Structure formats: structure tokens, C-alpha cells
Structure 1
Amino acid sequence: MLVTPLTPDRLAVEVVGLVDARPGRVRLAVDGPTPTHPEVLADRVAGDLRTRGRAAAVVVATDYLRPASVRFEHGREDPDELLDGWLDDAALRREVLGPAASTGRVLPRLWDAASDRAFRDGYIQLPPDGVVIVAGALLLGRGLPFDLAVHLRMGPGALARKLPEAERWTLPAHARYAAERDPAGTADLLVLADRPDRPAVRR
């Protein structure tokens, strides 16, 4: 096992290299708990891809949550429901991942969890070599058709220290995720992110 320390910018370049090695449209997952800031890496990767002339769209997983009446059926702080029931897998597959592999017509945002109503975004058209990047937590091991996956791993101790107090109830969900869905073992790129400003890639 080899661990390579990187800067956040160099990590983005590494991910871009994985994407560039694949022809056609690519569906990339950037998966990690809140303190690892997966959306930040997704935005960096998208920016680098665009400078190379390759269209890229970032979809944030929290814009594809199920309505509050479904998410909170067992309470607002149920870690099992967070892992198994918050993300609208079917909608993400229908509006983003399926079309990204066929027509290229994807919907960047679906559900505004804050207002508990649908966004009014229009569809965007990805070209034949376009990339859609889905960023968020607890994405892997649920049968979603990603072509590539990056997992930002934060150990249990670091996660417990860095999660905001209001989110500490999510810790059992992250523990179950690591144990049952093995994101570290299934991702194409495993990033050690106990210190997100000093990531390292484990090869």
C-alpha cells in the first residue's frame, strides 16, 4: 500500500486524470461526509475539466433528497433513515445518471430541502464527452450507476471531532456506511481526508 500526500489542487488534477482516461460521457461520484467538503472537490474538478474544453456539471446530492414527509417519517434524527431513506435514488437515476448515459439531458437540482418544494431549474444538455459529478455523503453501495467514484475517507475519530454538534447524530449512519457498504474498498480513488486541506491518496 502506497500513500501519496497531495494538495487539494493536485488531488483535483488526479481525479481529472481518471476522468480523461474514459471516453464519452462520464458519471463521477465524489463521496464523503460533510467535513471533507465533497462539493469543493467536485467544483475544482469541474473547473479543471472546463479549462481543458470538457463540459462538466456538478449535482449536489442534498438537492436530490426526498420530501420531508418521507425523510422524517421516523423522526428528524434517525441515522438508519438517513443512510437508507433520505436520498431520492430513483429521482437521481431518472433525472441525472440515466440521461447522462443516454440523451445527455440532465436536471441539476430537483428538491429544495429548506423550503420542502421542487426547484424550478431547467434541464441542461451535456455534450457527448460531458461529465456529470454527483457530490455528497453516503452515495456508494446503493446501486447507483456511476462510472467512477472518489471516496473521501475521514476516520471515526476525526469525523466525531469535526462534525458540527447539530450533526453528531449522523455518526452511527457513517459507521454503518463504512462497515456495510465498504466505500473505501469499492471506490476507484480512495482519499484519506482526516485533514481535508492535506489529503492523501491511498493506492
Structure 2
Amino acid sequence: MDQANTVEEGENGPDARQRILVCAAELLRHGGREALTTRAVATAAGVQQPTIYRLFGDKDALLDAVAEYGFLAYLKQKSPNEPGQDPIDALRAGWDLHVGFGLANPAIFSIMYGDPRPGKTSPAAAKAVDFLRQRMRLLAASGRLRVSEERAANLIRAGGCGTVFTLLAMPEAERDLDLSIVAREAVLATIITQTPQWKASGVVSAAIALRATLSETNALTASEQRLLSEWLARIAAPGGEVS
């Protein structure tokens, strides 16, 4: 086999995309976004620049793919609640892991969360949001949420991302890591209650818990479930409490 054929197979083989992502992630980690040029990635991965465009489309798509590649490794550290595990403890652990990932991978974190565009979310960030929503559903089903699932998830996202970017803006030697703990507990105090809401008063929290477990009943038709879910969502919305 001649050298030209070897190069062609190396650029079109099944491992070419993975090799490019690995090399791009290393460039991003050590040199930031400025280091992630298609020329540098092609050189590091041993491919021609057109191969990158063929596999990823453009540089923005490459950045999204690199962010997803790095974040998937982070998501592997997370798992759904195990039987008997307190969902609030799991949420604390998830916050700490999120902040730790952001501080250890500032460039990837910035690609994921640092360029918000309405209606567009990076694939990696979308996976993180889905995971967080699963956490909120567990909390709602246990009767521990005092706000809607969506508002709880948004407060966690705002607090976690804000904490990471605030700490990254500080000189590394001067970072106040306790800030993350204080912010975490402030957010948790806003969205959760220590007593399951069906043991306490509050129609809003009861609606949140019922809506989270509505799919478990067979007593309603699909259209009835959708209608009841809409009513419960209206009760659970801010200002939905009735006297």
C-alpha cells in the first residue's frame, strides 16, 4: 500500500473523527479557544484541513463537538439516584461536580454556557439540562419542591453557571471556593423543603408533586392527563397559590 492510500484511509477511517476530537480537546484545554484553529487541529490529528470540514461542517460545529466530547466524560461521573439515596444529597453532589468541571475545564465550559443564544443550546449543555430535569422530577415526586420543576432547574442552572464564571474571573490563588457552598445552599433553600409537601400545607407544592407522578396512574385517558397536567402546571406557576 502506498503512502497516499495510507493517508486517505487514516483520514477516512472510523477513528478519524475521534482522533480529531481528542486532539482538539487537548489544544482547547492547554491553549484556550484561540489555539483551536482548524490548521492546528489538522496538524495534531495528522489529517488534512478539508477532512475537518467534511466531518464537522465548520469551526462552530467542531467547537460544539469538542464541548460535547469533553462533557460526556463529565456526565459519566454522574448517575441517577440510587435506591435509598436522598435526592437533595444527590443534587448537592451534582452541583459540586458541575462547579468542579467548570473550574477544571474553563474553555469547554465557556463554549457550553458562555455564548447563550435564545432557542439554541450546545448538544453538551442540552444533555446536562436533561439530566438536571431528571433530578427535578425525582425531587418533585418526593414532595420536596416548593417551586415548579422548570423554575427549580433554571435556578440551579443560574446559580451553578454564575458561580463558575465568578470564580473563573478571580485569580486562581485567590478563589473563594466556599462561595460555591454558600450559593448552593442559598439556591436549595429557595427550591426545596425538608418536609414532603403532602405532609405539610401548600396547594402549589402538592400540585408540583402530583404533576410529577401523574403518568403513574391509569385512571385517566391520555387527553385527561394532559388537561390535568396543564391545570397543575398553572397552579404550580409563580403566584398560583390560592387561599
TM-score range, shorter chain: under 0.3
When the two structures are superposed, what TM-score results if normalisation uses the length of structure 1?
Answer: 0.27
- Rg larger in 1 or in 2? 2
Q: Which has the higher contact order (CA 8 A, sep 6+)?
A: 1
From the two aligned structures, give the one with the greater helix fraction. Answer: 2
When the two structures are superposed, what TM-score results if normalisation uses the length of structure 2?
Answer: 0.24
